[in-house]
Amino acid sequence: MPEWGGGHTTLETIVQELQRPVRFDDSFERRVMVRVRRLHAERRSRGWVAIASRITHRPGWAAALAACVVAVVTLGLVRSRPEGSANVGGVPVEPVQFVLVAPDAHSVAVVGDFNDWGLGDSALVATNHEGVWSVTAPVPAGVHRYAFLVNGKQWVADPSAPRATDDDFGMPSSALVVEDSTR
Amino acid sequence: MNRLARSLVALSLAAAALAPAHAQDPRIGNRLDAPSRVAIIALLDSARAQGIPVEPLMQKVNQGVAMGADGPRIVAAVRTLTREMATVHQALGTVATADEIQAAASAVHAGVPAVELGKIKKQSGLRRSLTLPFTVLADIVSRGVPVEAGVNAIRSLVGAGAKDADINNFQRNVSGDIEKGAPPAAAAETRAKALPAGKPDSAKPEQLD
């Protein structure tokens, strides 16, 4: 997948960037200590301010630690993400195959919540394999309603899926629950 | 602050709160007649105010338009769905997800009392998503399984720790049995006995109240 492909190259770039020595100007330490002392005086606390004042500034160690954190998080994400799944705008998306056996059909499309019930260009057009029509599409995790549109005019529910009980418009439709496989 | 200034601030806040609600639904557009559009916007605002997920309502509008339904019929469908989701939202509590509320609403539409769905939710705990169990419950009841038998079957499966894959298999088996001529109640009761390994004692079905 383009989004996750070349993950190691990306990771190496991040690690290299984080390992570069960080250069501060001469006044950096003085400014930090002024700020720390001011906070210490303001809060009169022995909490995190007291601890922070004892930390010695070592950019190399900090960079290495940050690189480790990034590496663990990034590798963890790459490994936990199953093949075929993706994440679009923060919403997990899973590939779903829709299949309808309709030997006499001239065209079959899939229309549902996941494409805003869009007809025409928005519909998922199925491919015919000797009367077995199928299309695989990325569908966001969650619950959806959908139906097959046969020959551009006949609505058909998916015989292999649970029924959508609320067929308010007199046409059958089906229910689809897409699990987030990354959870 | 004098009374006039306070009123102006309150009015501004109210306008700010209402304006985005309408602006968020550009998909309604001009696909509906004016009275239906106004009615739909009012229903969406009402749903938002109640904390009910709005997206399923919007998708109901889209479905109606795609299927060639007229405005009043779409409004009636959205109104019904709003009412059903409000009912289950109350029954399931604030821990229910938007997907669970939508799935539960379809079960209510099929004839399952919301209170029974609330019991299943309470039994299952917070971590187990009930989106698929509620969807399957709606399906089997719509295929003729009596409500009590359907609720008991789903309750026993969830109580036994059945995964979504098990519940999917249960739905396929029950619908297959019914298509072959089996009595729906017998199909559901028999198939629910094929529980996954490691079932807890609490998995035993209970009588409906």
- In a 13 Å sphere around the CA of B34, the CA atoms on its Cβ side amount to 0
Each residue of A68-101: pLDDT tens digit? 444 443 333 333 334 566 776 677 889 999 999 9
Q: Specify if B21 maps to a domain.
A: no
Do B125 and B112 share a domain, yes or no?
Answer: yes
Cα B157 from Cα B166, distance rounded (Å)? 8
Q: Looking at chain A, which residue has its C-alpha nearest residue B73?
A: A169
Kindly report the backbone phi and psi dihedral angles of residue B57, in degrees, each rounded to the nearest multiple of 5, phi listed first.
-70, -40
Neighbour order of strands in the sheet with A86-88: A86-88, A91-101, A132-140, A127-129
> Which pLDDT score, from 0 to 100, does residue B196 have?
58
Please indicate, yes or no, whether residues A92 and A53 belong to a single structural domain of this protein: no
Q: Residue with structure tokens 């649970």?
A: A162
Q: Please state, in angstroms and rounded to a whole number, the distance separating the CA atoms of residues B19 and B122.
A: 37
Chain B contact present for A91, CB below 8 A: no
Answer whether A146's CB lies under 8 Å from A116's CB: no
Interchain contact, A160 vs B172, CB within 8 Å: yes
Q: Report the gap between the CA of B110 and the closest CA in chain A (Å).
A: 6
Per-residue pLDDT, averaged over A30-47, amounts to: 40
Q: Which residue has the tokens 């519909």?
A: A123
Taking the Cβ of residue B169 and every Cβ of chain A, the question of whether any pair is shorter than 8 Å is answered with no
pLDDT tops 50 at residue A177: yes
Residue B203, pLDDT score: 43
Optimal mutation site among A124, A139, A168, interface B, most CBs of chain B within 10 A = A168
Q: Which of A136, A148, A145, A147 is nearest to A96 (CA)?
A: A136
Reported pTM: 0.70
> Which residues in chain B are closer than 8 Å to A169, comparing Cβ atoms?
63-64, 67-69, 73-74, 77
The pLDDT tens digits of the residues spanning B90-133 come to 999 988 999 999 999 999 999 999 999 999 999 887 788 999 99
Is A165's pLDDT higher than 90? no
The CATH number given to whatever domain includes residue A158 is: 2.60.40.10
Q: Give yes or no for A168 touching B (CB within 8 A).
A: yes
CA distance B4 to chain A (A): 41
Last residue within a domain, chosen from B92, B109, B139: B92
Q: Are A131 and A76 in the same domain?
A: no
Contacts of B138 in chain A (CB under 8 A): 162-163, 165, 175
Q: Is the pLDDT of residue A149 over 60?
A: yes
Q: What is the ipTM of this complex?
A: 0.80
Gap between the Cα atoms of B177 and B160, Å rounded = 22
State the pLDDT at residue B120.
94
Facing residue for A168 by CB, picked from B77, B135, B171: B77
Q: For chain B, what is the domain count?
A: 2
pLDDT digits (tens, 9 = 90+) for B10-60: 555 444 444 444 444 667 777 899 999 999 999 999 999 999 999 999 999
Closest partner residue to B132 (CB to CB) among A117, A170, A177 is A177
Residue type, A113: D
Q: Looking at the domain assignment, is residue A183 inside a domain?
A: no
Name which residue leads in pLDDT, A68 or B154. Answer: B154
Same domain, B179 and B103: yes
Q: Is A37 on the interface with B (CB under 8 A)?
A: no
Give the model's pLDDT for residue B30: 79
